[in-house]
Amino acid sequence: MPHIITRNASSVEQNWLNDLANAISDPIQLLNSLKIDPTPWAEGLAARKLFALRVPLSFVERMEVGNPHDPLLRQVLPLAEEFEVHPGYSQDPLEEQDNAIPGLLHKYQNRALMIVKGGCAVNCRYCFRRHFPYQDNQGGKRNWQVALDYVAAQPKINEIILSGGDPLMAKDSEMAWLIDAISAIPHIKRLRIHSRLPVVLPSRITPELCQMLAQSRLQTVLVTHINHANEINRELKQAMQGLKQADVTLLNQGVLLKGVNDNVEALTLLSEALFDAGILPYYLHVLDRVQGAAHFMVDDHAARQLMAGLMENVSGYMVPKLTREIGGRRSKTPLDLHLE
């Protein structure tokens, strides 16, 4: 078992909690910090009422000063287009909101997904759960235990996915409780954690978290959510190394987003940067049709062309699967890459 160096737990955890508390929630403050005149964007800034703005300073520091079209800024800045209502888009595009057990989604035969926490460190404007009723799916030990009791009675489930919100909004003590409780279910083999926190708050990957994952009997997979190479900095790479030392498998799923990564060069640089950081490109999702995010849509034909270009530029193991998720289906749906 790898040896993980530990430091004072309370002080290390306080680092990421302080970083979280200092996140920007005012779009004018965000634009001013980047030396961008907020006046042309005034109409769109009101969209924060539809979906709050939240972005940690660590992520802001990776944005280009003076560039209102920076690909990282575009992911978090409220825009006027969010007020538009589009046919074919809904507040529940994956049909998740009518779940029988609070905080548990059992869409796939061998795995179940737990909504561990409703909050995120960053609010991405294209989020498919931006309308999710987190108030009815509160993250806490009472609901977690109900969910795990269900899982314990379903022997076909061999993998638990921790999601949200963002599951790493849970403190290390809560994560330890969860991991122990999941490990106590004999038929669970794997733990998968889907999180954006390591990206926007690398300080969240504490030595204590790495140690508890290293010591667990479960095979652990961390799936990061990175859409652009500029999101990957030195601190993120260091956090990923800590997880690799804990024998955690690192994968990435991104979303194909207009104005962010909808060109072959951006996707190529993303795959290269991910692999350099020890993360394997896993999925590239076409946009889930959530109301308020239609301006990010890249159509299927363009998506196929982009993937064909990416395949010409990187090795096959660095090409993510192009997929979409359709509500009610028991697996993701790959997009045929045949070009007419």
User: Mapped to the 3 state alphabet, what secondary structure does the chain carry?
Assistant: CCCCCCCCHHHHHHHHHHHHHCCECCHHHHHHHCCCCCHHHHHHHHHHHCCCCCECHHHHCCCCCCCCCCHHHHHHCCCHHHHCCCCCCECCCCCCCCCCCCCEEEEECCEEEEEEECCCCCCCCCCCCCCCCHHHCCCCHHHHHHHHHHHHCCCCCCEEEEEECCHHHCCHHHHHHHHHHHHCCCCCCEEEEEECHHHHCHHHCCHHHHHHHHHCCCEEEEEECCCCHHHCCHHHHHHHHHHHHCCCEEEEEEECCCCCCCCHHHHHHHHHHHHHCCCEEEEEECCCCECCCHHHCCCHHHHHHHHHHHHHHCCHHHCCEEEECCCCCCCCEECCCCCC
Q: In whole angstroms, how far apart are CA 129 and each of 76, 166, 182, 293?
A: 15, 11, 25, 11
Binding site as annotated, residues: 120, 124, 127
Cα–Cα–Cα angle for 230, 237, 54, rounded to 5 degrees: 55
Binding site as annotated, residues for [4Fe-4S] cluster: 120, 124, 127
Q: Which two tokens stand for residue 223?
A: 């799936």
How far is the C-alpha of 252 from the C-alpha of 278, rounded, in Å? 10
